[in-house]
Amino acid sequence: MGFKLLSLYLFLAILALSYLFVHSFVRGRSQHAKLLGILSLTLQVYLLGYLVELNATSLDAMIFWNQIQYFGIPFFPALWFAVSAVYTGRPQWIQGWRGLLVISVPVLTFVIRLTNDFHHWYYASMTLVFLGDYTAMYLIKGPWYLVQMAYVLITLVACTRFYALRYRKAEGNERMQFSLLLWASILPYVALVLVFINFGDLGIDYTALILPPCILLINHALTKYNFLEIKEMARERVFEDNRIGYLLLSKQLKVVDMNPLGKQLLKQLEANNPSIHEWILDDAKHLIKLEKHNKTVSISSQAIENSGYLVSIEDVSEREAILNRLEHLANIDALTQLNNRRSFFEQANQIFEHADRYHEPLACLMIDIDHFKDVNDHHGHEAGDTVLKSLAETMKQCFRSSDVIARMGGEEFAVLLRMSEMDAAHLIAERLRVTVEKESIQHNELNLHITISLGLAVRNVHEDLESVLRRADKALYEAKAAGRNQVRRAQ
């Protein structure tokens, strides 16, 4: 009667685990759901082999079905460990060399059990025992069986520790969840003890009896509180699929986790050799240009209390391009591609402040095209535009990159020359005048010639910008009144 009840229990457990496999592995989306599904599948194989072994009547049949069980038995401790590691946020324990270490003992156990007839390392002997009307297989454990038992114990202790650490920090429903997971990880210890001492001397595998309710308890804990899918869906939507790259760093600044975009951008940043410490030691946002990848990224970080840092990396290339374009449109004259009036005043004021601080000389030129109205009247506004663009290109070639050249409006231009006294500035202005006078400007089939008039003022000590411009502008009108095509110095 007892063996019939045991067989019925195992059969129902197999059905329950089959449902769990479909629910977790086939329908589940999270990594730990998939792992739980594989764990339930290995237990199905184990229980099915044990069920048939219990109902077999010959030693050969029992040995065969005992071997079938080892397509599942060696691997459930590793999978049990993997579920707990992933669910408690420690996936690194099943990655890299640690993952190889975790799976190595199960693989060796699988091979050693299937080749046991040649060395008897796993079972020293396997004999039949008669228990009333039933027969069972009596197993004498070999040395590798003890290794496998020790491995199972180590993985159980690790799982228990993972769940206990999370239980201590959890609150509310999550605390209840981890209390159930703790119970599920503690019960297998009882099975290990019963198997090791061969309780009752009945040849019963108590692990097969205790594991099914433990697995169902884990599934209940994960699904009742809906954390199994909700946490993974939230991660997928908020973390994995985000258009911002995220890096989770430990307090030692080691990368613990990252989303796909974060991984991609981190690789590109490392190629650019920025120091990761600079990202997180202050609360400021950092803009880093990745010349090799032709993009700009924004990096900011947020400290996580007692844990580490969350670093966000955002590709802002498109946004920066738009901002640069808007800034260009706001500061650059569309026709000549010189600074406009607004930009000239903005830069000039900064240069004046710098000159005051370091006692640097400054000079200002006001420039006007002579008889420009005649060009427009006789040849059209397109010809006038060509003249303006040609003069702008000539000025770019005549002045230094540190000088500020601007179109102030119409045919009037201004130039602020840094580190320039009167005589040096006059030579530069005269060179520009002569160059413009000699140039021939092509417009369609026309060869146009123009001249310019220039007013030059050198800044007096602590003189403001408006005053310097007034004096340069006055000198310009003096040049035009004196016959044009000349440079006049301001008094």
Just list the catalytic residues: 411
Task: List the alpha helices (DSSP H) in 380-464.
Answer: 381-398, 422-438
Which residue has tokens 């454990």?
141
Give the C-alpha separation, 146 to 241, whole Å: 46
Contact 58, 85 (CB under 8 A): no
Quote the DSSP letter at residue 202.
S
Length of the chain: 491
Strand 487-489 and strand 452-458: the pairing is parallel
Rounded to 5 degrees, what are φ and ψ at 338? -95, 170
Residue of 482, 437, 480, 478 lying closest to 457 (CA atoms): 478
Give 412: exposed, middle or buried? Use CB within 10 Å, 0-12, 13-18, 19+: middle
- Cβ-count burial 101-134 (b if 16+ within 10 Å, e if not): ebbebbeebbebbeebeeebbbbeebeeeeeeeb
Cα 88 to Cα 4, 25, 258, 415, 423: the distances in Å are 39, 19, 16, 67, 77
State the pairing for strand pair 255-258/245-250. Answer: antiparallel
CA distance 44 to 66: 13
The number of helix segments (H) and strand segments (E) in the chain equals: 18, 14
446-463 as b/e, with b when 16 or more CB fall inside 10 Å? eebebebbbbbbbbeeee
Q: Quickly list DSSP for 148-213.
A: HHHHHHHHHHHHHHHHHHHHHH--HHHHHHHHHHHHHHHHHHHHHHHHHHTGGGS---HHHHHHHH
C-alpha angle 261-264-269 in degrees, rounded to nearest 5: 120
